[in-house]
Amino acid sequence: MRLISRIKSRWSESLLSWSESVGLGAEESARTGKPGSESMPITLPMLRRLFPIRHLAEDELAAFQAGREAEFYESGRVLCRIGDPDRALWYLLEGRVRVTPKTGSAYELGTDDVKANFPLCANREEGVTATALTPVWMLRVSPSLMAHSALRKPREWGGDPKLPAGLRGNPLLRALRDIYPRRHLSLPVQPQVLACLQAAVGRQAEAPEIAAIALTDPAIATKLVAIANSPLFFAADGAFLNGQAAVERLGPKAIRVLLAALYRPEPEGGADPLLVRLRQRWWRDSLYRSALCWELAAQCPGTDPDRAGLAGLLSAVGGGVCLDLVAQVSRELWQEDDITLVSHWVGGTLGAFLLERWNFPKEWTVLPLRASEWTRPQRDGTLAPTDLVALAHWLAASESGADWELPSIDALPAYAKFRAVASGKSLSAVQGQARRRAEAALGMLGL
């Protein structure tokens, strides 16, 4: 325990030093390029003046700008044309351009013009042709930014017909229902994983090792993948990155900033011991479900185990959101049984809403909801991550001894689809391999 305390102490000092060095919350000059220089770092003040970029989360902006530079183009360069297939959104950071729309008059645009706070093709579906009149520094982002920044309405749960009548008057459920639409949703982070990851980044470990550590913690993995797939990173193919590819896109500087944003010191007087224990249990349960998804996918040719492992982590985030919200509720309103019951019934809704707020694609946001919808009818006969998640949660529930009514495994459409393509290894063997995988992950963290 003393070793962990020393690690946490050095970790908090390191994060404070790093956050100061990157200027989190500090005032900076919005323009740092020098005349005649092709180098211009992207800064937080630059991003904060751009619409709708300025509406993105602060940690997303901070991680993106860490060590990143604007794109430089010489005078006379055609930056984009009407009808370009990649349809990137272009922002002018420095210099002057001529903008020619498909209809209407051409005009010149400089850095100090109000229109420079918006994409060059704002409100024009067909795009524009933009030509550099001087040397220019540009920011190019994904067109999905316009939908990405839209604030989603909170999901409702009070009218769920499956909700037991006795639970509808539960004080904890009422309190969570009242506060969750107004609060910043987050996930508890394991300090051991933060310390281990900070050490790996500090010694310049390779991307596979950093990804392996990050994917042991639902909060870190979810946030890392969310930011790596931010529309601020323009990619022509639009492929969704997970695991190692996400780490490689962000780079060590962005990951350090991300870890600084995720770090939360314990409250004065310490955290509630019961919540600490429940967070540990939720974390280990999430790790096991991720391992189950990985091992199940490994039995199915053509299925990516790493992607399935991430799906397993994301499917369990609702329990973490619930615990994070409970910490904001009066201690008089809940006991352990209340948390267990409420989390079981609304964890899927909370998890889906968090993933929506963090702008995951729909095929990922449904994972927390599908995790316990074991007998949901299936139209598509192809094995999907939602099927592996449902099967993994059923297997974990069957082992836990929890007093929930479980359908027969033969009643699970996900099991039928798995059995049709799997290599034939028994589920008990898969469960044994998953336990060993989870134990190996804990060993990697020194636990």
Tokens, residue 10: 């050095």
Residue 32 has what pLDDT? 41
Per-residue pLDDT band at 436 (split at 50, 70, 90)? very high
DSSP characters over 2-66: HHHHHHHHHHHHHHHHHHHHTTTT----S--PPTT-S--B--HHHHHTSTTGGGS-HHHHHHHHT
pLDDT at 429 over 60: yes
Per-residue pLDDT band at 35 (split at 50, 70, 90)? very low
Rounded to 5 degrees, what are φ and ψ at 53? -55, -35
* Cβ atoms 138, 90 nearer than 8 A: yes
pLDDT at 437 over 60: yes
pLDDT digits (tens, 9 = 90+) for 78-92: 998 888 776 788 999
Report how far Cα 86 is from the mean position of its chain's Cα atoms.
25
Mean pLDDT of the 370-398 span = 90
Residue 268 has what pLDDT? 61
Selected residue with higher pLDDT from 268 and 212: 212
Q: What is the DSSP letter of 411?
A: G
Residue 51 has what pLDDT? 92
Q: Can you give the three-state secondary structure of 13-29, one letter per residue?
A: HHHHHHHHHCCCCCCCC
Residue 150 has what pLDDT? 52
Selected residue with higher pLDDT from 374 and 401: 374
Q: Which of 72, 64, 67, 62 is nearest to 39 (CA)?
A: 72
* Cβ atoms 332, 392 nearer than 8 A: no
Q: Which of 336, 311, 324, 340 is nearest to 403 (CA)?
A: 340
Beta pairing, strands 96-101 & 128-132:
antiparallel
Residue 85 has what pLDDT? 72
Instruction: Give me the domains of the chain, ranges plus CATH numbers.
Output: 30-147 (2.60.120.10), 151-444 (1.10.3210.10)
d(CA 279, CA 316): 12
The SS3 assignment for 96 reads strand
pLDDT-above-70 percentage for the chain: 84
pLDDT-above-90 percentage for the chain: 58
CA atoms within 13 A on the CB side of 331: 5
CA atoms within 13 A on the CB side of 430: 26
The residues, any chain, with a CB within 8 Å of residue 55's CB and separated by 6 or more, are: 149
Q: Which of 168, 119, 128 is nearest to 345 (CA)?
A: 168
pLDDT digits (tens, 9 = 90+) for 94-130: 999 999 988 888 999 999 999 999 998 865 666 789 9
* Cβ atoms 196, 214 nearer than 8 A: no
Q: What's the burial of 323, exposed, middle or buried (CB within 10 Å: 0-12/13-18/19+)?
A: buried
The residues, any chain, with a CB within 8 Å of residue 335's CB and separated by 6 or more, are: none
pLDDT mean across residues, the chain: 85
Of 195-199, 260-264, 407-411, where does mean pLDDT reach its minimum? 260-264
Please name every residue paired with 128 in a beta bridge, in sequence order, or none if there are none: 101
Residue 14 has what pLDDT? 47
The model carries a pTM of 0.85
